[in-house]
Amino acid sequence: MPRTPPSALKTAVVKPLQTQSLQTFLDRADDRDRLPGSVIASLRQTLLSWYGQFGRDLPWRQSRDPYVIWVSEIMLQQTQVKTVLPYYHRWLTLFPTIAALAIAEQQQVLKAWEGLGYYARARNLHRAAQALMLNHDGIFPDHLTAVMQLPGIGRTTAGGILSAAFNQPTAILDGNVKRVLARLIALPVSPKRAIADLWQLSEALLDERQPRDFNQAIMDLGATVCTPHQPLCLSCPWKEHCRAYNQGIQTELPMSETRPPVPHKNIGVAVISNDQGHILIDRRRQEGLLGGLWEFPGGKVEPGETVEACIQREIREELGIEIAVGDRLIIVDHAYSHFRVTLNVHHCQHLSGEPQAIECDEVRWVTLTDIDQYPFPKANVQIIETLREKSIKAKG
Ligand code: SF4
C-alpha cells in the first residue's frame, strides 16, 4: 500500500489547505466523485463482512423494541459502552416500558441517571415518554419527522433508533461516524465545518438493504478500530479506500477547531448543619445545567472575596439565613464540557432564619442516611462520601 510518511504530509495536505477553501475542495470534480459506485459497494461489503466477524455483542442489539434502543442511544451519547451497561440494565428494571417511565417521578428518573452526566438527557427521556403517552398512545413512532419532534432526539439519534428498531434506511452521524468519514475522504477541514457534506456521505454509503447492520457496523468501526488517537488501520476493512490511511495522515485527522481556553469557576460550598444534626440541601432550578438535581448550597467566589465571605454572602442571598462558616471539609475539582469548577466546601452551622428557596426550587433538611434518596451531581457525591467517612471516624 503506497503510504506517504507523516512528515511529507505536512506539505502534501496541510499546506494546500491554507490556500483552498472547503467549497473549492468539495466543488472539485475529482473530489465530488471521490466515492464512485464501485467503491461504495466495496465499502459496504467489506464493512458488513467485518461486522459479521467483529461486531460487538451489545444487549440492546438483541432487541427490536424502539424504547429499549432509544434508551441505549441516549445513554451512549458522549458516554462509553462500559459506563453505560450497568445504567442501562438498572434503567430497564426500574422503567421497563414507555408507560412506566412516563408515570415515574422526575426525582426517581434523575436518581437512576446519577453519575452518568449530561442530565438533560434524563429529563428529556422522561418528558418524551410523557409526550408519547399523550400523543402516540405510548407507541414509539416509526417516522423520522415524528421521532425528531420528541425532546432530546436529533437527526442522528432518530436515524440510529429507526434503523436499529425498524431496519429503516436512515443515516447517522455521531462523533464516531464523523471521525471515520472525515478520515475516509481525508476531509481538509474540521467536521463541524462540513456537516452537510458528511451527512450526504453517510447517506450515500448507507446500505439500503441492510441499514440496521450497516449503521451498527460503522459505529463499531469508529469505537473499536478507527479510534481517536491510534486508529488500528491495519485491521480496518476500509484501509484500501481510506484516503487518510493511504496518505499516512490518519492520526492528524479529523482536523480540529481551535478551542478557546476552558473557563474556571471557583465556588464556595456550604455543608450547613442545624442543632438536630440535619444537613441543608437544595434542588436546582429545572432550567439549565444539572436542573432538578440536589446540591449543597453555595456560589461563585467574587474577585477579592475569601471563600468564607463568599459562602456567608451566597447563603444569605440564596436561602435568607445566617450561618457560621467553619473549617474546610474538602476541595473538589470537576470538569464539565465547557468549564471547570473548584468546589471549596466548608462545614457551616445554622444560626438563624428559616431557609427559603429564593434561587432554587426547594430546600430540605436531611440526615446523612436519607441523603441517598436524592439525586446529586457527581462532584457533590464526593462531598457526601467525605461526610460519611468523617462521621464514621467520629463515631469510631
Ligand atoms: S483505515 Fe484507518 S483511518 Fe481509515 S477508516 Fe480505517 S481505521 Fe480509520
Our mutation pick for probing the ligand 1 site, out of 180, 202, 234, counting the most ligand atoms within 8 A of Cβ, is: 180
- Domains of the chain: residue spans and CATH: 9-252 (1.10.340.30), 264-395 (3.90.79.10)
pLDDT at residue number 37: 83
- Within 13 Å and on the Cβ side, how many CA atoms surround 238? 31
| The residue to which cell 433538611 is assigned | 365
Residue 141 to residues 131, 181, 212, 219, 315: CA-CA distances in angstroms? 11, 29, 17, 23, 47
* Grid coordinates belonging to 143: 417516522
- Give the model confidence (pLDDT) of 361-374 as tens digits: 999 999 999 999 99
Question: What are the pLDDT digits (tens) for 7-32?
Answer: 333 333 333 333 344 445 445 534 54
Ligand 1 pocket residue status of 9, Cβ below 6 Å: no
Q: Is 225 in the pocket of ligand 1 (CB under 6 A)?
A: yes
Distance CA 206, CA 171 (A): 6
Span 256-282, mean pLDDT? Answer: 92
Distance CA 38, CA 60 (A): 33
State if residue 226 touches ligand 1 by the CB under 6 angstroms criterion. Answer: yes
Select from 215, 339, 336, 334 the least CA-distant residue to 269.
334
Q: Judging by beta carbons within 10 Å of its beta carbon (0-12, 13-18, 19+), is residue 277 exposed, middle or buried?
A: exposed
Q: Mean pLDDT, to the nearest integer, of 106-115?
A: 96
**Residue closest by Cα to atom 4 of ligand 1:** 242
> pLDDT per residue over 142-197, tens digit each?
999 999 999 999 999 999 999 999 999 999 999 999 999 999 999 999 999 999 99
CA-nearest of 216, 140, 207 to 169 is 207
- Residue 312 is predicted with a pLDDT of 96
Query: What is the pLDDT confidence band of residue 256, given thresholds at 50, 70 and 90?
Result: confident
pLDDT band of residue 392 (cuts 50, 70, 90) is confident
Tens digit of each residue's pLDDT (9 = 90 or more) over 29-69 = 345 445 788 899 999 999 999 999 999 999 999 999 999 99
Centre of ligand 1 from the C-alpha of residue 236, in Å: 6
Kindly tell me if the per-residue pLDDT of 204 is higher than 50: yes
Among residues 151, 148, 149, the alpha carbon closest in space to that of 159 is found at 148
- What ranges make up the beta strands (E) of the chain? 264-273, 279-283, 294-295, 298-300, 322-335, 340-352, 362-366
Is there a contact between 249 and 186 (Cβ–Cβ < 8 Å)?
yes
- Burial grade of 79 (CB within 10 A; 0-12, 13-18, 19 or more): middle
* Pocket flag, ligand 1, residue 236 (CB < 6 Å): yes
Q: Atom 8, ligand 1: which residue's CA is nearest?
A: 226
Is residue 2 scored above 50 in pLDDT?
A: no
Q: Is 6 or 130 the better-scoring residue by pLDDT?
A: 130
Whether ligand 1 lies within 6 angstroms of the CB of 177 is answered as no
For residues 65 and 135, give the distance between their C-alpha atoms in angstroms, rounded to a whole number: 19
What's the sign of the alpha-carbon dihedral 175, 177, 180, 185?
Answer: negative
Closest residue CA from atom 2 of ligand 1: 233
